[in-house]
Structure 1
Amino acid sequence: MSTPLQIGFVIFPRVTQLDLTGPVQVFSSVPGAQVHLIWKRIEPVPSDSVLTLTPTTTFAECPQLDVICVPGGLGTDDLVNDEEVLAFLRRQAARAQYVTSVCTGSLVLGAAGLLRGYRAATHWTAMDFLTAFGAIPTPTRVCIDRNRITGGGVTAGIDFALTLVSLMLDRRTAEAIQLRIEYNPAPPFTSGSPDTAPAELVAMIRERIAPAQARRAEKMQQAAARLA
């Protein structure tokens, strides 16, 4: 490869770290790739867990990326109305080879106007919010629509990253990375999707997140109005 692939992730307060760290682990194994963690300033960024993340570059200093990716998390509720973030995504998307997200990161791409007319995946609890941005909700692990590649919730980030490696390079490289990280999932339960989880468990989760869903709905309505 004559020039290194430039792969960048937007990080932000209350990002779900596994949305980010799964793909980062995959892309960091791509020969010659340069992976960037991007935020407004070089300062510690708290995730939604005990982990704190450190940006490697800022919006202003970030090079043109081949892949721009937005992970998800509760913090995306603020990003959808953050014009500095949305403007950065629009600038990068104009020349990026791939515009991508994991989990609710697709809502931020939508708020930036980057998913109009595109099929897109997101976390199962956020699927209904995509239509406000002109996207076509697609409940799948990895959704590919032209150069928009979006992953489902959290753990789908690894599937997303391996899929993208196979598209950018080749399947053999992706499979070698999969073997290196021993990505051989065998979940102990079948409750990882609302389609297979017990109905009472799905109902319990929906009840538990109802206040957060109400807050998210308000933020998404504001973002959709701004976009319009």
Structure 2
Amino acid sequence: MNGSGETGIGAGRRRLLRGAVAGTLGAAGLAAASDHSAYPADRDAPGRDPGRGEGDASSLSVALLLYDGFTALDAVGPHEVLCRVPGVRVTTVARKEGPVRTDTGELALVAERATRDITRADVLLVPGGGDRGVTAMMEDADAHRWIRRIHRHSTWTTSVCTGSLILGSAGLLRGLPATTYWASRPYLEKVGAVYTPGRFVEAGKIITAAGVSAGIDMGLHLASRLADEKVAMAMQLAVEYDPDPPYDTGSPEKADAETEALALKLLADSAR
């Protein structure tokens, strides 16, 4: 252990990452991460505004919405990428502060702020969830009003997996190309969106990601938008995101009907 209680390996990794980011980012990258001149003029300057969450005067704010029944990796995947981008502060938000349970009920993340206290954010991120959680959010008028309020002034409004159905239910996807979890593609049309294949789909300032792990892809893409490609590529290496799965059944186009049925059964059986 070092003086701060970190192991030598952990402390060393942090020093290496800090050095790598400093070397690749440089003065120009830092300016890009903190320069807000390209954003809408009616946006408040980010900083210690209590409606924006915590952060210094140059930080870009990401509001990560949690709700009962969200899927862990939908939130944690992009969070792991974005929270390490220089000049970015990710704040977890829910109806009220405190622990919020995932769709399995076996894990909880802590919401740092209540939605009533967050009125603006540079980025809104809505994860997907299990049937129970997403269905409730698709019918939650209060949540929809908050999402629309944040979207009105956001630079980017994003979702992962079935989070796009929540954005659509809030009225944000009408006529727009979007993606979602493979088994939920038919529902996109019901919320006014046009299903478009892809790990993530960008339509104006809205970015929707496909299912679960695709949130990491979207997070890296968003990192390039919030900083630059060098930072995004460095973050991909920092989290060692180099997928090489032992099987090739990661999309319905590659899996047979039996595998699809089992996948949905596993999800249903694990739901709280």
Query: Taking structure 2 as the reference length, what is the TM-score of the superposition?
Result: 0.74
Return the alpha-carbon distance in structure 2 between the equivalents of residues 60 and 86 of structure 1: 13
The one-letter code of the counterpart of 2:235 is I
1:192 aligns with 2:247: no
Return the alpha-carbon distance in structure 2 between the equivalents of residues 191 and 119 of structure 1: 25
Question: Mapping of 1:1-228 within 5 angstroms?
Answer: 1=34, 3-49=58-104, 50-74=106-130, 75-205=133-263, 208=265
For 2:166, what is the secondary structure of its paired residue?
A: helix
Change (3 A) 1:26 1:211: closer
Q: By how many angstroms is 1:72 displaced?
A: 0.4
Change (3 A) 1:210 1:44: closer
Q: Deviations over 1:126-148 (max 9, x none)?
A: 01001112110112111111111
Does structure 2 conserve the Cα–Cα contact (< 8 Å) formed by 1:68 and 1:99?
Answer: yes
Aligned residues: 211
Change (3 A) 1:66 1:53: same
For 1:68, what is the secondary structure of its paired residue?
A: strand
Q: By how many angstroms is 1:51 displaced?
A: 1.2
Change (3 A) 1:210 1:18: closer
For 1:101, what is the secondary structure of its paired residue?
A: strand
The one-letter code of the counterpart of 1:177 is M
Structure 1 gap segments, 5+ residues each: 213-228
Map of 1:216 onto structure 2: none
For 1:197, what is the secondary structure of its paired residue?
A: coil
Larger radius of gyration: 2
Q: By how many angstroms is 1:188 displaced?
A: 0.6
Does structure 2 conserve the Cα–Cα contact (< 8 Å) formed by 1:27 and 1:165?
Answer: yes
For 2:117, what is the secondary structure of its paired residue?
A: coil
Q: By how many angstroms is 1:198 displaced?
A: 2.7
Percentage of identical aligned residues: 37
